[in-house]
Structure 1
């Protein structure tokens, strides 16, 4: 069983080690995303306050969401996705923990939207 199955969050290193297909969704607010200029490779950006209009696109998929620090924004989106029946986890510590772990990042705009 992966770390993904029974938790509401997953560490960046456990996410990488999981090995199963997981969609990574960047739910940082637009300004925070623009200021950073970076993203987790392969992630897709969705506006965090518009989840009602995009949640259905992830039905039947395993999703990991991240914001800047893994606090309010990603927790709210994760909860909303779970309420919609999407198996969702937040990345512990958000984008900053990912980057601090030395995991790869790439510029925003690399076929992400």
Structure 2
């Protein structure tokens, strides 16, 4: 992603290497997020069906959205963000791919979900 800003997805290992270069958005549905009890460290949770109300806070930033498996939810959010001019990608395989890669996770804060 760092060289081709037209990509729409990034692997878990690629996302981890981006560090502070990108904001990670957890856009899992509330039940899926709380059911998992875990998140990518530093990820900001936003309700996936309310993007019209929160997208503006990420104008001018690079973001990566993830849902459980990287399918409909994160794809829709990524598309919406991109349509509003935000440089957005999705995490290939979603949170499950992140966990399967052995990358760090943290407990979901009670106030986030």
> Normalized against structure 1, the TM-score is what?
0.92
- Show the counterpart of 1:83: 83
- Show the counterpart of 1:56: 56
Gaps of 5+ in 2: none
- Show the counterpart of 2:37: 37
1:44-77 C-alpha deviation (Å, 9 max, x unpaired): 0000000000000000000000000000000000
User: Counterparts of 1:9-48 in structure 2 under 5 Å?
Assistant: 9-19=9-19, 21-48=21-48
> Normalized against structure 2, the TM-score is what?
0.92
**Deviation for aligned residue 1:92:** 0.3
- Distance in 2, Cα, partners of 1:110 & 1:44: 13
What RMSD, in angstroms, separates the aligned Cα atoms of the two structures?
Answer: 1.8
Gaps of 5+ in 1: none
**Deviation for aligned residue 1:103:** 0.3
- Secondary structure at the aligned position of 1:96 is classed as helix
- Secondary structure at the aligned position of 2:103 is classed as coil
- Show the counterpart of 1:6: 6
User: 1:3–1:14: 8 Å Cα contact kept in structure 2?
Assistant: no
